[in-house]
Chain A
Amino acid sequence: MNKTTELFAPGHRGCAGCCDALAAKFMLKAVGENCIVVTPTGCLEVFSTPFPESAWNVPWIHSLFENAAAVASGVEAALKALGRKNDTKIMAIGGDGATIDIGIRGLSGAFERGHDFTYVCVDNEAYMNTGVQRSGGTPFAATTTTTPAGKASFGNLRPKKNMPQIMLAHGSPYVATTSVAYPKDMMRKVKKATEVTGPTYVHVHAPCTTGWGFDGSKTIELGRLAVETALWPMMDIENGDITGVHKIRNKRPVEEYLKAQKRFKHLFSIPGGADIIKKIQELADWNADQYDL
């Protein structure tokens, strides 16, 4: 007999230590049962709904990879037309690939139309479900199967796309960044996002044991390191103004974060690796300075 009272049920097929399973648990804990969830293709959708099963104890609908925001718009419009919107929260939950790359056009349209829903990006920084291909969320210098580090390359050449800023540029009344490593911070932000009227956006940093190459017991530890090195700033942005920043008590050098993961391991052995690490440190320092972390 299953003993938990959580809305995200066990028995799902996420890897041991899965970041996306934690994200789903926290989101449902934060929002409660009066919500409708839309999930595009990706790890979370695949491991939580192996037909004919579902881990979701709330109404849940699978969209295509590219159209979660459009489906969520339709759910909202339909509830309004039926006079049943009331307090029901609508949440679309997509991976970084689904959000930052392939679904960005539909997402932009949904925010432009101003639907009352929350979009949550669970960013594990690559296309995990199909075998760790690079996405717009992949950080600079990470090795992935489509940006392999080797003699000719140090890994991903491009910086991570600043998706929260793009969503902010749509005039969203609430945009926040958070991490599965800070459950209380994440739950507060997701809850708040669903309570604010209009299209709101939460970007969740999610360390993936399989795709990043670290032991499954360290999922939360790695998320904490990303925040403590200032590589992942956490904040609340309300009506365009930064209204809350997670302050770092003890800022750590980026090496501590990088060396804990296989996807950055090459930086410690290839010629010129030290220069790349220096550039990554500069990115962290820029964040710390820019956001007063």
Chain B
Amino acid sequence: MSSKLCIGGIVEPGSTVINKTGSWRTFKPIYQKEKCIKCGICELSCPENCIIKTEDGYYEIDYDYCKGCGICSNECPRETIEMVLEEK
């Protein structure tokens, strides 16, 4: 996308997706499918919308955008998501 000013300053909807916020992360959420009861609380609680439902009803984390806030891990009723220090 051009960064030149356009008339009305109009920009593309949803275009922040070009900015991969996964690089902000210090702690990485690790999802353990075997413990998951598919309640969906983590998906709803993620401010980055990066917990994605898979075809089998379980979840995967999109690390391109996950900032490592840890809300999903804190809210999960089954301690299914573990936060681990990420070495880069």
Closest CB in chain A relative to B67 CB, distance in Å? 4
Indicate which residue in A6, A21, A54 contacts B15 across the interface (CB closer than 8 Å).
A54
- Known contacts A54-B14, A54-B16, A217-B69; is A8 also within 8 Å of B9 by CB? no
Closest CB in chain B relative to A140 CB, distance in Å? 28
Task: Write out the residue numbers on chain B whose beta carbons fall within 8 Å of the beta carbon of A58.
Answer: 13
Indicate which residue in B16, B67, B70, B75 contacts A48 across the interface (CB closer than 8 Å).
B16
Task: Write out the residue numbers on chain A whose beta carbons fall within 8 Å of the beta carbon of B49.
Answer: 4, 6, 8-10, 25
Bound form: Cα–Cα A8–B49 in Å: 8
Check: B79 CB closer than 8 A to any chain A CB: no
Bound form: Cα–Cα A89–B80 in Å: 38
* Interface magnitude class on chain B: 35 or more
Closest CB in chain B relative to A289 CB, distance in Å? 31
Bound form: Cα–Cα A82–B2 in Å: 32
Partner-binding segment picked from A11-19, A70-78, A107-115: A11-19
Decide: B13 and A54 in contact? CB cutoff 8 A.
yes
Check: B48 CB closer than 8 A to any chain A CB: yes
Bound form: Cα–Cα A171–B1 in Å: 46
Q: From DSSP, what is the main secondary structure of chain A's interface residues?
A: loop
Closest CB in chain A relative to B34 CB, distance in Å? 22
Bound form: Cα–Cα A50–B18 in Å: 12
Number of interface residues of A (CB under 8 A): 39
Q: From DSSP, what is the main secondary structure of chain B's interface residues?
A: loop
Check: A241 CB closer than 8 A to any chain B CB: no
Closest CB in chain A relative to B16 CB, distance in Å? 3
Closest CB in chain B relative to A40 CB, distance in Å? 16
Closest CB in chain A relative to B47 CB, distance in Å? 4
Task: Write out the residue numbers on chain B whose beta carbons fall within 8 Å of the beta carbon of A57.
Answer: 13-14
Closest CB in chain A relative to B54 CB, distance in Å? 10
Indicate which residue in A6, A17, A60 contacts B71 across the interface (CB closer than 8 Å).
A17
Decide: A11 and B47 in contact? CB cutoff 8 A.
no
Task: Write out the residue numbers on chain B whose beta carbons fall within 8 Å of the beta carbon of A2.
Answer: 14, 17, 62, 64-65
Bound form: Cα–Cα A53–B6 in Å: 12
Closest CB in chain B relative to A276 CB, distance in Å? 29
Other contacts beyond A12-B19, A57-B14, A58-B13: 4, CB < 8 A: A12-B16, A19-B47, A216-B69, A220-B71
Residues of A in contact with B (beta carbons under 8 Å apart): 2-4, 6, 8-14, 16-19, 21-22, 25, 48-58, 60, 183, 209, 215-221
Residues of B in contact with A (beta carbons under 8 Å apart): 1-3, 6, 9, 11-21, 24-25, 44-45, 47-50, 52, 62, 64-65, 67-71, 73-75, 83
24 contacts between A and B (CB under 8 A): A2-B64, A3-B50, A8-B49, A9-B16, A10-B21, A10-B49, A10-B65, A11-B19, A12-B19, A17-B70, A50-B19, A52-B2, A52-B3, A53-B12, A53-B19, A55-B14, A57-B13, A183-B44, A216-B70, A216-B71, A217-B73, A219-B69, A220-B45, A221-B75
Q: Which 4 A-B pairs have the closest CB atoms?
A: A217-B70, A11-B16, A17-B69, A16-B67
